[in-house]
Amino acid sequence: MNCATLCQPPMPAELQPGMQSGQACPIHDGNPMRLTHLAILKRPRAILLAMIGALALVSACEQIPDAALEPQNTGPDKRSDESVQLQRYYASVQTKLQTQGLLRTDGGGPDVPFTATTLAQNFERIALFDEYAIRGGRFVAQQTPSHLRRWERPIRVGLLFGDQVPEAQRAIDRENVAAYVRRLSRLTGVNMTVSNANPNFHVMFLYRDEQKNIGPLLRQRIPDLGQVVIDEITQSPRNTFCVAYAFSDQNNSSSYTSALILVKAEHTDLMRLSCIHEEMAQAMGLANDSPTARPSIFNDDE
């Protein structure tokens, strides 16, 4: 979850769900619209350690244990084999995470006690540090002190669905985003609505085939969007589950003016919801992760 009005007290307990967390980095692309942070939800460390221990992830070619997770490739616009295999892969990741006790949704229990002090410390680490720095034109994992970033204007969340996303799934996504918008607005005091009328907070649900070709539409909807960001979206690798970009005015890097989020439509239920929560929260101003924040979407191992 998230605390968007960043001058308010540290993150309350209600803002600490048990979803997966991502990564954040400051970046400047040289355009009139300044990209102040990038948050990426990638394959978590717990899974990587399991791979090192010979407990490799189920590959895209292997059988998915739950038949209900098998992707449906029907309709007038059939998806490519790459997209179908990607959905199988993400379903296997979700299954693996759940069998390891991750992707928690219980809000915590006796195993995760926290106090006002730990909440304040977690907020400081998450809101006042970046996880990545740029060295030689590349992102390098490095905890770097940063500054508070927040929205100081009303947020209009617009949804964009690829043509191949089924209407039934769109209805679920709309409700999940709307419910989260209501919660974020209530908890932070930021004026947030879901509206496709001149949105400044874009949430996209795209299959791989649509993702590759979204560039022209992005340029049309967000004219100042830099080519670097467009390339990142159209070429996003499979181990990047979802991604958020937050932009600020050139003259005030602490105040966000717009955001762009990609949720890969190949994700199934819980991973999809995790991406919505993670990326929308980080696009509000909480750019870092912390292994001590738990239960929290800002903890890579939960």
Q: Taking the chain (302 residues) in consecutive chunks of 10 residues, what is each chunk's mean pLDDT?
A: 29 34 33 53 38 24 31 60 97 92 74 78 75 58 75 96 97 98 94 96 97 95 88 91 88 88 96 93 78 64 50
Q: Which one-letter DSSP state was computed for residue 13?
A: G
- Cis before 295 (ω within 30): yes
Q: Report the distance separating Cα 85 and Cα 222, nearest Å.
A: 31
Give the integer Cα–Cα distance in Å for 281 and 240.
17
Q: How far is CA 181 from CA 36, 51, 126, 229, 241, in A?
A: 22, 36, 21, 24, 21
Instruction: Note the helical H segments in 214-301.
Output: 215-221, 227-234, 269-282
List the one residue out of 240, 202, 205, 297 whose CA is nearest residue 3. 297
pLDDT at residue 41 in the model: 57
* Local structure of residue 291 (DSSP, 8 states): T
For position 300, what pLDDT does the model report?
A: 56
- What is the identity of the amino acid at 102? L
**Which DSSP category does 206 fall into?**
E
Place of tokens 């992760």: 289
Could you tell me which residues are beta bridge partners of residue 245?
38, 260
Beta bridge partners of 31: none
- In contact, 271 and 73? CB cutoff 8 Å: no
| Contact present, 164 and 75 (Cβ < 8 Å) | yes
The whole-number pLDDT of residue 137 equals 53
Burial class for 43, CB neighbours closer than 10 Å (0-12, 13-18, 19+): middle
Residue 130 in tokens: 């970046």
d(CA 163, CA 184): 28
What are the extents of the domains in the chain? 1-302
pLDDT of residue 135: 64
Q: What is the pLDDT of residue 38?
A: 57
pTM, full prediction: 0.73
What confidence score (pLDDT) does residue 250 get?
79
Separation of alpha carbons 131 and 64, rounded Å: 33
Tokens of 111: 């195993």
Say how far residue 288 (Cα) sits from the centre of its chain: 12
